[in-house]
């Protein structure tokens, strides 16, 4: 059946002519892998193409226009909202060959890269010179800068330094008709509407990004990492507010609950205390004496809020180990459950104690195990709901429980997603935040860029096909 | 025409009360743009009233320019049409203030100075030092994405706005973004409004992220004999672990304008650097700065407290300092690679000298933004040529240049924004989608949008 459809609609020869024979996948067994991203599996692509230049991207898009096929850009496929999968028959544009760092300009604190460059590779490339690229999603060893721009990715260290959109100066992009445009520039101000800011976070539904100019940051003189250990979750969440009240903005402020840290400890042996109810992982950056001074204040804030103990990482190795535990946490939980579903709600950070209590209650009512590991400093929650997707009843409970959590986040003045994006996961939930007028304006803007829905169809905006439902179909853990 | 308009303004008073529609010629002259005065000045008191005025203007196909304190009103092309000045003066309330969450919603008519005083009571601030300084309104600052040298540490309005409410030309209120510090739900339409100079919609409420006020601040002044030295200092400062709040370099004319008295001619350039934080930060920064200065043989002094703050205010309000002395001055702003600032200063001096004019240059040297004032007391048509050469130079260096201020007589020959890029067609279609009748600041923006 696959073969029959392919033979009918797919301009295979043309695609091969554009990107080269070896850079097109179309056999069922080859394209199957591209049904998935971090959220779930969807339509099987008719073909997966790997361009190596902007001109090739442009030609593939122009061909897609002629043949009426949708196009979805794909970085590493680590997205958690279903952004990189097709909702219908179409082409996947893989960026693994467009993975060059084109220019590094340290005096001007910027770099120009292709979208397939892996996030961490950019930081590594400038590390010896004393620089780094600030936004650091926990998936940074795998995810691409193109995917980061599309999702406006955050990470533990974006608390102090800002998310992707604060670090992108300019873009080159291919539009839905195959034409190429340049937005922004390599400087800080650019006359005209901020199309760079609009495209960042547009989840591949407005244009396909083919080149990115980003800011690089100077590495701090000193880094200090603290681990505050608690016997009760509310003590940990209250500490977050006390730290803010002291006028200190740590570089990172992450929280992990007891259940999660036990799974992490078993997987990574990072030195997390097995018997605690919660930990805060706090990092300070700056001048060395200042970091010491702040560490003292933070320690006070933790102890005032009944931390059992505050440890300081004594070496770079200890620090790396603590972070490895944090960054591999999803994987670690994957070892203890057949499936999990990651939520990404946001609340004003002072409401942390009450949302944690609420989530505990939700877990009880739906008889679900919840693990929490998240960016506490900016109120970006990541409850992981553990389940087995072979059991329809568990699936239903996970969906309902998640929907309740998201609704509560909105009631508290927060958002349905802080960094993972809307995709096909939450597009039907957009009316929780936005009125019909708000959405109409978004549609009007989309129509300018992507009038036929050629690029990444069925994402971000409500389709009206489902009524206000969350789409949960989490992949196997691990 | 006049009679028809009068009749239609009468319908406007069915939406607003009599005293909110000011037709007094003197008041209208006060908000004139390039010598063009509007037919009336309206003062809505709520977002709904703003929306109603916009709907009215769309129906009547009138030109509307939103304003507050007119600190940035002279900027942009001469409007194609200007019937209504939409003053946001009455919209100056703080709605949701959550100091513990470091967030606030505030109306656009609030003045920056008043807002800072309000926030300071809880030890907070919004780290903005845009042109206009304390007099600038929050709405105007955001609409222009205006920021001064504080951009080095804190970014621009685009980095501090969490969400906003916007009155559209259809007469609707739409919202974008939210009130939390992290949020990726939906298109970030706020980014389009930030820096749009009131050509897409009228911002009626802004959600900001707030910052703790640094406990201590110190400003250092350094004297440098030439641009080689200022360049070396900039490199040393930016590659050091110090995180200055802001830094600027001024030529002697700019330093004289900003300090309000004749400048010591022996020192050709003045550098200012501000540090903020705990006493430890101030001490460590001071030590490191002094050793940098010693290595480069630059003399240095400090400014503290109120005098430093006032000095930075005058830096922010460079345009007023310039125009109060040189009423017909032309002022341009180049956005350049950080490394090209000094080169551009030199070039500006040479280009101006060719036309027998002096320059006052202010380099926000941490971020590559250079202001060049062409000092003149009379309208000098040849300065159009100078701005064109400077634009060419800025573009050659990979940057862009806009003309912030010029006598209206010169604007006909001066391209305020410069040629748009290959993304202009998208901008044009965005403008059409948001403002199909072309009522908002018609013709004033890039490419005549
Ligand atoms: C273990 C784990 C931890 C994570 N931690 C974080 C975190 O801390 N913070 C965070 O923000 N996210 C996190 N994520 C989510 C995910 O890694 C990010 O969203 C990341 O930005 C996706 O990058 P990617 O290259 O995998 O993109 P993909 O998943 O391949 O694609 C994501 C979206 O980007 C679009 N896209 C990709 N390339 C382009 C392009 N060139 N032009 C236009 N659109 C394009 C796709 O169409 C899709 O809509 C995590 C995911 C996992 C699995």
Residues A453 and A359 placed together within one structural domain of the fold: yes
Which domain CATH number covers A142? 3.30.465.10
**Can you state the angle between helices A436-449 and B424-434, rounded to 10 degrees?**
150
Residue B241 domain flag = yes
The span from the first CA to the last CA of chain B, in angstroms, equals 25
Distance CA A175, CA A49 (A): 17
Sheet containing B103-106, strands listed edge to edge, beginning at the edge strand earlier in sequence: B94-98, B103-106, B202-209, B161-167, B173-177
Pocket test for ligand 1, best of A75, A159, A172, A326 (most atoms within 8 A of CB): A75
Give the list of residues 6+ apart from residue B140 with CB closer than 8 angstroms, or none: B67, B68, B69, B71, B72, B108, B132, B146
What is the number of the ligand 1 atom nearest to the C-alpha of A116?
41
**Ligand 1 centroid, distance to A390 Cα (angstroms):** 27
CA distance to partner chain B, nearest, from residue A108 (Å): 5
Q: Least CB-CB distance to B155: which of A166, A185, A416?
A: A166
> Best interface-test mutation with A: which of B95, B150, B186 has the largest number of A CBs within 10 A?
B186
Domain at A313, CATH number: 3.30.70.2190
Q: Among A78, A418, A461, which is best to mutate for testing ligand 1, by the most ligand atoms less than 8 A from CB?
A: A78
Q: Based on the domain organization, do A237 and A291 belong to the same domain?
A: yes
**Inter-chain contact A433–B186, Cβ cutoff 8 Å?**
yes
Atom of ligand 1 nearest to the CA of A204: 44
C-alpha closest to that of B72 among B416, B422, B428:
B416
- CB-nearest to A430 from B180, B183, B186 is B186
Least Cα distance to B80 among B442, B414, B435 occurs for B442
d(CA A145, CA A148): 5
Of B100, B168, B280, Cβ closest to residue A245:
B100
Phi-psi region of B448 (alpha: psi -120 to 50; beta: other; left: phi over 0): left
* Residue numbers of the domain that contains B309: 216-316
Residue A7 maps to a domain: no
- Closest in A188, A245, A438 to B368, CB measured: A188
**Side-chain-side CA neighbours of residue A157 (13 Å):** 21
The pair phi, psi for residue B104, each rounded to 5°, is: -155, 150
On whether both B288 and B350 belong to a single domain, the answer is no
Q: Is B430 contained in some domain?
A: no
Q: For chain A, how big is the Rg over CA atoms in Å?
A: 22
Through-space distance between the first and last CA atoms of chain A, rounded to whole angstroms? 32
A343 CA from centroid of ligand 1 (Å): 15
CA angle (B95 as vertex; B94, B98 as ends), nearest 5? 95
Contacts of A192 (CB under 8 A, 6+ apart): B417, B420, B421, B423, B424, B427, B445, B446, B447
A56 falls within a domain? yes
The Cα–Cα gap between B193 and B166 comes to 9
Distance B207 CA to ligand 1 centre (A): 27
Whether residue B256 lies inside any domain: the answer is yes
User: Mind telling me how many Å the CA of A426 is from chain B's nearest CA?
Assistant: 9
Same domain assignment for residues A342 and A304: no
Q: In degrees rounded to 5, what are phi and psi of residue B277?
A: 145, -155
Task: Look at residue A4 in the predicted model and tell me its pLDDT.
Answer: 40
DSSP β-ladder status, B299-304 and B330-335: unpaired
**A198 and B CB contact within 8 Å:** yes
In this structure, what are the phi and psi dihedrals at residue B7, rounded to the nearest 5 degrees?
-60, -40
* A244: chain B residues, CB-CB within 8 Å: 100-102
Domain final residue, candidates B172, B196, B212: B212
Name the nearest CA neighbour of B369 among B404, B403, B415, B337.
Answer: B337
Last residue of some domain: B299, B316, B333? B316
Q: Which residues of B touch A416 (CB under 8 A)?
A: 185
Enumerate the β-bridge partners of residue B249. B271, B363
Pairing between β-strand B40-42 and β-strand B84-87 as defined by DSSP bridges: parallel
| Residues in chain B within 8 Å Cβ distance of A195 | 423, 426-427
Cα B302 from Cα A6, distance rounded (Å): 73
- B100 and B156 in a single domain? The answer is yes
- Picking from A94, A116, A142, the residue at the C-terminal end of a domain is A94
Give percent helix, percent strand, percent coil of chain A, each to the nearest 5.
40, 20, 40
Q: What contacts 24+ positions apart, CB below 8 Å, involve B403-406?
A: B403/B330, B403/B331, B403/B332, B404/B74, B404/B75, B404/B131, B404/B319, B404/B331, B404/B332, B404/B333, B404/B371, B405/B74, B405/B75, B405/B319, B405/B322, B405/B323, B405/B329, B405/B330, B405/B331, B406/B330, B406/B331
| Residue B198 pLDDT | 93
**Residues B308, B306: Cα–Cα separation, whole Å:** 5
CA A151 to ligand 1 center in whole angstroms: 6
- Residue A304: inside a domain: yes
Q: B298-319 burial string, b = 16+ CB within 10 Å, else e?
A: bebeebeeeebeebbbebbbbb
Identify the pLDDT of residue A8.
Answer: 41
User: Domain with B263 in it: what CATH number?
Assistant: 3.30.70.3450
Strands A47-49 and A91-94: parallel
Residue B11: its pLDDT value, please? Answer: 77
B403 contacts in chain A (CB < 8 Å): none
* Number of residues that make up chain A: 478
A2 lies in a domain?
no
Give the pLDDT confidence score for residue B72 in this predicted structure. 65
User: What is d(CA B153, CA A286) in angstroms, rounded to the nearest whole number?
Assistant: 13
Residue A282 structural domain? 222-332
For chain A, the domain total comes to: 4
The CA R_g of chain B, rounded to the nearest whole Å, is 22
Asked if the structure places residue A3 within a domain, the reply is no
Distance CA B384, CA B382 (A): 5
In a domain, B275, yes or no: yes
Whose C-alpha lies nearest to ligand 1, atom 49? A83
In a domain, B157, yes or no: yes
Judge if ipTM > 0.90: yes
Task: Identify whether B431 is part of a domain.
Answer: no
Distance CA B132, CA B122 (A): 24
CA distances from B203 to A84, A344, B32, B46, B435 (A): 34, 29, 21, 12, 14
Compute, in degrees rounded to 10, the torsion defined by CA atoms B77, B82, B86, B89. 60
CB–CB of B369 and A422 under 8 A?
no
Q: For residue B103, what is the nearest residue in chain A, using CA coordinates?
A: A348
Distances B257 to B105, B251, B263, B360 between C-alpha atoms, Å: 36, 10, 9, 8
CATH of the domain at A420: 3.30.70.2740
Residue A245, pLDDT score: 87
- Which residues of chain A fall short of a pLDDT of 70? 1-8, 466-468, 473-478
Residue B74 is predicted with a pLDDT of: 76
Q: Note whether A362 and A460 are same-domain residues.
A: yes
* Mutate: best of B99, B147, B184, B244, partner A, most A CBs <10 A: B184
Those of residues 218-247 in A touching chain B at CB distance below 8 A are 218, 220-221, 241, 244-245, 247
For residue B24, count other CB atoms closer than 10 A to its CB. Answer: 10
3-state secondary structure of A213: strand
- What residues are in contact with ligand 1 under a 6 Å CB criterion? A 37-38, 72-80, 83-84, 95, 115, 137-139, 143-144, 146-148, 150-151, 153-155, 203-204, 208-209, 330, 419-420, 456
pLDDT at A3: 42
Tell me whether residues A290 and B243 touch, CB distance under 8 A: no
Read off the tokens for B203. 């911002």
Final residue belonging to a domain, choices B264, B294, B316: B316
Chain A residues touching B98 at Cβ < 8 A: 348, 350
Residue B84 lies in a domain: no
Chain A, residues 111-140, CB within 8 A of chain B, namely 130
Q: Provide the number of structural domains found in chain B.
A: 3
Chain A residues touching residue B183 (CB < 8 angstroms):
346, 415, 417-418
> Running DSSP on this structure, what letter comes out for residue B440?
B
The token duo for A399 is 């969906």
Chain B positions in Cβ-Cβ contact with residue A348 (cut-off 8 Å): 98, 101, 103, 179-180
Residue pLDDT, tens place only, A133-165: 999 999 999 999 999 999 999 999 999 999 999
Q: Which of A191, A352, A431, A447 to mutate to test the interface with B (most CBs of B within 10 A)?
A: A191
> Nearest CA to CA, how far is A410 from chain B (Å)?
10
Distance from CA of A470 to the nearest CA of B (A): 14
Rounded to the nearest 10°, the torsion over CA A271, A274, A279, A284 is -10
Residues B131 and B204 in one domain: yes
Chunked in runs of 10, what are the mean pLDDT values of chain B (449 residues)? 62 85 92 91 96 95 86 81 95 96 97 97 97 92 96 98 98 97 97 96 98 96 95 97 96 92 72 96 96 95 87 93 92 97 96 94 97 92 92 96 90 88 97 97 94
Helix (H, G, I), strand (E, B) or coil at B399: coil
Domain identity same for B208 and B105:
yes
Contact B101 A247 (CB under 8 A): no
Sheet with A278-286, edge to edge strand ranges: A309-312, A222-230, A278-286, A252-257, A369-374, A383-387, A339-342
Whether B325 and B272 map to the same domain: the answer is: no
Same domain (yes/no): A348, A469: yes
Contacts of B104 in chain A (CB under 8 A): none
CATH number reported for the structural domain that contains residue B330 in this entry: 3.30.70.2740
Q: Could you identify the atom of ligand 1 that is nearest to the CA of residue A375?
A: 8
- Tell whether B56 is covered by a domain: no
User: How far away is chain A from the Cα of B242, in angstroms, using its nearest Cα?
Assistant: 7
Q: Is residue A6 part of a domain?
A: no
Q: Are residues B195 and B100 in the same domain?
A: yes
Pocket test for ligand 1, best of A50, A58, A73, A212 (most atoms within 8 A of CB): A73
Residue A231: how many other CB atoms lie within 10 Å: 15
| Confidence at residue A6, expressed as pLDDT on a 0 to 100 scale | 45
The pLDDT score that the predictor gives to residue B410 is 84
Task: Please check whether residues A227 and A252 belong to one and the same domain.
Answer: yes
Q: On the CB side of B30, how many CA atoms lie within 13 Å of its CA?
A: 14
Question: Cα separation of A49 and A20, whole Å?
Answer: 9
User: Residue B205 maps to which CATH number?
Assistant: 3.30.465.10
Which of A200, A218, A236 is where one domain is finished? A218
| Last residue of one domain, picked from the residues A184, A218, A252 | A218
> Any idea what the CATH number is for the domain that residue A51 is in?
3.30.43.10
* Tokens describing residue B242: 């110090």
For residue A1, being part of any structural domain is answered with no
**Partner-chain contact A197 B400, CB within 8 Å:** no
- And the tokens for B15? 């939406």
Query: Are B277 and B296 in the same domain?
Result: yes
A346 and A467 part of one domain = yes
A245 and A171 co-located in one domain: no
How far, in Å, CA of B449 to CA of B440, rounded?
Answer: 9
- The closest alpha carbon to A206, from B260, B18, B187, B358, belongs to B187
My answer on whether A157 and A283 are in the same domain is no
Is B145 in Cβ contact with A194 (below 8 Å)? Answer: yes
């Amino acid at each position: 059946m696959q073969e029959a459809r392919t033979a009918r609609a797919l301009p295979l020869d043309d695609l091969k002519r554009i990107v080269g024979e070896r850079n097109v996948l179309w056999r069922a067994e080859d394209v199957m892998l591209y049904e998935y991203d971090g959220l779930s599996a969807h339509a099987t692509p008719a073909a997966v193409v790997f361009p190596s230049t902007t001109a090739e991207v442009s030609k593939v898009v122009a061909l897609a226009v002629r043949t009426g096929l949708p196009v979805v850009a794909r970085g590493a496929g680590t997205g958690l909202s279903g952004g990189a999968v097709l909702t219908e028959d179409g082409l996947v544009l893989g960026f693994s060959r467009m993975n060059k760092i084109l220019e590094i300009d340290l005096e001007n604190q910027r770099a120009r890269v292709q979208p397939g460059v892996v996030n961490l590779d950019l930081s590594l490339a400038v590390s010896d010179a004393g620089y780094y690229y600030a936004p650091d999603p926990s998936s940074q060893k795998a995810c691409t800068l193109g995917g980061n721009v599309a999702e406006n990715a955050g990470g533990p260290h974006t608390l102090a330094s800002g998310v992707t959109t604060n670090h992108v100066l300019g873009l080159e992009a291919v539009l839905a008709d195959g034409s190429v445009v340049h937005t922004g520039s390599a400087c800080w101000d650019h006359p005209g509407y901020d199309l760079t800011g609009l495209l960042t976070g547009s989840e591949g539904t407005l244009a396909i990004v083919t080149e990115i100019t980003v800011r690089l940051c100077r590495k701090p003189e000193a880094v200090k990492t603290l681990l505050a250990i608690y016997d009760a979750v509310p003590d940990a969440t209250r500490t977050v507010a006390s730290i803010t009240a002291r006028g200190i903005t740590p570089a990172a402020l992450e929280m992990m609950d007891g259940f999660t840290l036990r799974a992490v400890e078993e997987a990574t042996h990072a030195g997390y205390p097995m018997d605690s109810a919660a930990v805060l992982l706090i990092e300070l950056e700056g001048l060395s004496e200042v970091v010491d001074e702040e560490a003292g204040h933070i320690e006070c804030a933790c102890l005032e809020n009944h931390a059992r103990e505050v440890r300081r990482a004594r070496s770079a190795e200890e620090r790396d180990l603590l972070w490895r535990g944090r960054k591999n946490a999803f994987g670690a939980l994957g070892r203890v459950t057949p499936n999990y579903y990651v939520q990404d709600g946001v609340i004003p950070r002072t409401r942390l104690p009450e949302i944690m209590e609420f989530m505990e209650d939700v877990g009880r009512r739906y008889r679900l195990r919840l693990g929490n590991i998240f960016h506490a400093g900016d109120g970006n929650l990541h409850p992981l709901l553990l389940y087995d997707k072979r059991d329809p009843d568990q699936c239903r409970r996970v969906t309902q429980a998640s929907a309740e959590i998201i609704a509560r986040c909105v009631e508290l003045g927060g958002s349905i997603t802080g960094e993972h994006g809307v995709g096909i996961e939450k597009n039907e939930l957009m009316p929780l935040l936005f009125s019909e007028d708000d959405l109409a304006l978004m549609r009007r803007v989309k129509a300018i860029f992507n009038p036929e829905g050629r690029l990444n169809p069925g994402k971000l905006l409500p389709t009206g096909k489902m009524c206000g439902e969350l789409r949960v179909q989490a992949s196997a853990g691990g | 025409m006049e009679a028809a308009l009068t009749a239609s303004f009468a319908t406007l008073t069915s939406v607003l009360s009599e005293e909110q529609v000011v037709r007094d010629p003197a008041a209208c002259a006060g908000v004139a743009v390039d010598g063009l005065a509007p037919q009336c000045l309206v003062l809505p008191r709520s977002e709904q009233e703003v929306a109603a005025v916009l709907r009215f203007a769309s129906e009547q196909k009138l030109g509307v320019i939103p304003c507050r304190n007119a600190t940035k009103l002279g900027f942009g092309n001469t409007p194609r049409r200007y019937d209504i000045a939409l003053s946001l003066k009455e919209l100056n309330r703080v709605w949701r203030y959550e100091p513990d969450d470091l967030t606030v919603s505030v109306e656009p008519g609030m003045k920056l100075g008043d807002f800072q005083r309000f926030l300071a009571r809880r030890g907070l601030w919004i780290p903005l030092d845009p042109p206009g300084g304390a007099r600038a309104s929050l709405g105007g600052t955001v609409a222009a994405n205006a920021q001064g040298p504080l951009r080095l540490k804190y970014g621009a309005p685009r980095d501090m706005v969490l969400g906003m409410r916007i009155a559209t030309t259809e007469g609707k209120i739409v919202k974008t973004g939210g009130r939390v510090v992290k949020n990726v739900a939906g298109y970030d339409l706020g980014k389009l409004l930030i820096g749009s100079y009131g050509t897409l919609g009228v911002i009626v409420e802004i959600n900001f992220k707030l910052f703790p006020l640094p406990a201590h601040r110190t400003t250092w002044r350094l004297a440098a004999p030439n641009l080689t030295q200022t360049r070396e200092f900039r490199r040393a400062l930016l590659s050091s672990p110090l995180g200055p709040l802001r830094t600027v370099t001024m030529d002697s004319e700019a330093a004289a304008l900003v300090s309000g008295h004749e400048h010591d001619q022996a020192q050709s350039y003045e550098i200012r650097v501000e540090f903020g934080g705990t006493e430890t930060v101030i001490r460590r920064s001071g030590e490191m700065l002094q050793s940098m200065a010693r290595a480069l043989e630059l003399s240095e002094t400090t400014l503290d407290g109120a005098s430093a703050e006032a000095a930075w205010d005058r830096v922010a309000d460079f345009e007023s300092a310039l125009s109060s002395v040189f009423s017909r001055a032309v002022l341009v702003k180049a956005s350049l690679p950080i490394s090209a600032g000094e080169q551009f200063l030199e070039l500006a001096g040479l280009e101006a000298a060719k036309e027998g004019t002096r320059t006052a240059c202010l380099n926000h040297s941490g971020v590559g933004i250079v202001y060049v004032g062409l000092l003149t007391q009379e309208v000098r048509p040849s300065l159009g040529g100078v701005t064109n050469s400077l634009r060419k130079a800025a573009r050659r260096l990979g940057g862009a240049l806009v003309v912030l201020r010029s006598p209206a007589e010169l604007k006909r020959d001066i391209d305020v924004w410069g040629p748009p890029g290959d993304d202009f067609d998208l901008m044009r279609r965005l403008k059409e989608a948001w403002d199909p009748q072309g009522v908002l600041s018609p013709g004033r923006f890039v490419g005549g949008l």
